[in-house]
Structure 1
Amino acid sequence: MTMQAILDGTAAFLNHLGLAEEPFGVYYADTKPDNAYGPKTGTPISRELEDRRELDMQEVMKTFSCVMGNVWLARKKKGAAFISTEEYGCPGGVYYCSMMKPHLRFIEHYVSTGFPGTPLHGERYMPSPDAMRAFMEKVNPRKAPAKYCIFKPLSQFTDGAEPEFVIFFARPEVLTGLFTQTIFATGDMDCVMSPFGAGCTNMIGWPLYYQEQGLEKAVLGGFDPSARKFMKTDELTFTVPFSLYSKMLAALPESMFTHETDWSGVRKKVARSVKAWGEEE
């Protein structure tokens, strides 16, 4: 599919889904879009500096900026968001977006049970630093192919570039359609995954992982308590590799959306949800 065909297909797909917000695409490039939302340049970070005890995490956190927060701004302003090695914002996000390897050991404690004897009690999302380390080492994003990891609305891919992944932001009724269309396009009952991770891990880290494994998997995310502040109530993320998304669009003519199926009942619930949240256009 050409990018124009993708955009045309997306418009039809969104209409079937009853979703007003277009999906975002994510890609890597050496230049970032004008007026993109992202972190400020932070103090240098690396495992090497951390191992030498030359990394001041209080200094690092002075420029903290969540990937999900910047994507939230981009969504509201219909612009782009980015992260880079120097403009990293979050010591976890910079790893999940494949901008830095290896990960900081600090994250193993921060996301689990903290550092004993200190005020940092940890987020308590993982039961121990060892469990968190195993998670980090499994995700293990590839080395980034360019300076920036960029998120922007799909309609802004007009220069011949293609996204690696397509990210939807949706509530359960719409997710029903996304989930089912993914199954219909692949015939794979296990093609939608939902592993543990930060908001950005499930938007990009895990999709990269499955792609590196040679697997076409969609990833359902948005369950990170720390990222919920940057999402609508009841909203989740649904990320698909661009190759799979093309198949989903190509399969639309034979799908439940264009035949007499129970989707018509779900579509009515989508409309009720939109009305309940005051999001009617």
Structure 2
Amino acid sequence: MDAPLKAFLDALGHDGEPFGMFYTDREPQDGFSPKPGPPVSAELEQAGKMDWQAVWGSFSCVMGNIWLARKKKSAAYFESARYGCMGGSFYLGFHQPQLDFLTRYVSSGIPGTQVHGERYLDSPETVRRLFTEIPPRPAPARFCVFKPVSRFEPDETPETVTFFGRPEVLAGLGFLASFVTGDFEAVMSPFGAGCACMTTWPFHYLKQGRLKAVLGGFDPSERKFLKTDEMTFTVPYEMFTRFLARWEESYLTTDTWAGVRKKVARSSEAWGESAAASGE
């Protein structure tokens, strides 16, 4: 980890290295990736030729792979053949348009079947509107890779950077987003899957010319892959570089933040992570 990033994380009282996300045609030498899955497409679905048993048999959540990568300080990566999750594959830009099955699975389910639905939105129509309003950017390269920012090569640049933290750390990041942008609404918290908040939503705002941080971690299906009380905080790379360049001008050097740091330390100690709070 380079000195500027370490100094910033030390000021936050946080030892969880953020993960960068980028697309590349070069497969990571190590890391976690779903096994190859059967073909999926709206055309196959409409023709009744989807092998659903095989699709579910190869299921592997994007956030689950990232969770493993966080544990091993390694990479999690995906491609169109190793998509893992139909929803995640859509959000990462590998498969579009989204399957009709997903609109029903996320909402009210399919009557008369064992697909009862997650009931995260009230109807397939509402889910379909979500997919229409935030169409993911088609994947610009073969692999979508998430890995610790310290593991980026000189010729690699993350497009987004995600922090994983509890409320006090998020407080440090949240106000800093407004500090470096002058935007009173610099942090957004839209509805979406965990991976959507790390990719699709930040890109959606950037396409509108809006530099926004995205607070995520509200997806109930994602919670098993986050620590207790932990959320995600994803920023475009430009905002991340502003964090590193300007945090010393901000409240992170004041007595007020020193008081918050004490709560960061207590939180870390409560969860058996006291070394994180002390910077050891």
Structure-2 separation of matches of 1:259 and 1:158: 34
Match of 1:78?
73
- Please state if 1:249 is matched with 2:244: yes
Alignment equivalent of 2:140, drawn from 145, 165, 185: 145
Alignment equivalent of 2:271, drawn from 249, 258, 277: 277
Structure-2 separation of matches of 1:253 and 1:34: 36
Kindly state the Cα deviation for residue 9 of structure 1 after the two structures are TM-superposed. Answer: 2.2
Q: Deviations over 1:8-53 (max 9, x none)?
A: 3211110011111110000000122112101010001111111111
- Please state if 1:46 is matched with 2:41: yes
Kindly state the Cα deviation for residue 118 of structure 1 after the two structures are TM-superposed. Answer: 0.6
Alignment equivalent of 1:132, drawn from 117, 123, 127: 127
Match of 2:108?
113
Assess if the C-alpha contact under 8 Å between 2:194 and 2:222 holds in 1. Answer: yes
Structure-2 separation of matches of 1:173 and 1:142: 33
- Please state if 1:92 is matched with 2:79: no
Gap regions ≥5 residues in structure 1: none
Kindly state the Cα deviation for residue 245 of structure 1 after the two structures are TM-superposed. Answer: 1.0
Kindly state the Cα deviation for residue 90 of structure 1 after the two structures are TM-superposed. Answer: 0.2
Q: What SS does structure 1 have at the residue aligned with 2:222? A: helix
Q: What SS does structure 1 have at the residue aligned with 2:10? A: helix
- Please state if 1:266 is matched with 2:260: yes
Assess if the C-alpha contact under 8 Å between 2:37 and 2:58 holds in 1. Answer: yes
Q: Deviations over 1:128-182 (max 9, x none)?
A: 0000101111121111110111000000013321100100000001000000111
Structure-2 separation of matches of 1:207 and 1:105: 25
Q: Deviations over 1:67-98 (max 9, x none)?
A: 00000000000000011111001000000111
Q: What SS does structure 1 have at the residue aligned with 2:77? A: strand
Structure-1 separation of matches of 2:50 and 2:207: 31
- Please state if 1:218 is matched with 2:213: yes
TM-score, L = length of structure 1 = 0.95
Q: What SS does structure 2 have at the residue aligned with 1:226? A: coil
TM-score, L = length of structure 2 = 0.96
Q: What SS does structure 1 have at the residue aligned with 2:16? A: coil
Structure-2 separation of matches of 1:71 and 1:27: 14
Amino acid at match of 1:174: V
Assess if the C-alpha contact under 8 Å between 2:137 and 2:200 holds in 1. Answer: no
> Please, what is the CA RMSD of the aligned residues?
1.1
Match of 1:200?
195
Amino acid at match of 1:49: L
Q: Deviations over 1:219-262 (max 9, x none)?
A: 000111011010000000000000111112211121111234x2
Q: What SS does structure 2 have at the residue aligned with 1:197? A: coil
Aligned residues: 275
Q: What SS does structure 2 have at the residue aligned with 1:201? A: helix
Structure-2 separation of matches of 1:259 and 1:20: 20
Q: What SS does structure 2 have at the residue aligned with 1:50? A: helix
**Percent same amino acid among aligned pairs?**
53
Gap regions ≥5 residues in structure 2: 276-280
Q: What SS does structure 2 have at the residue aligned with 1:168? A: strand
Structure-2 separation of matches of 1:204 and 1:186: 20
Match of 1:174?
169
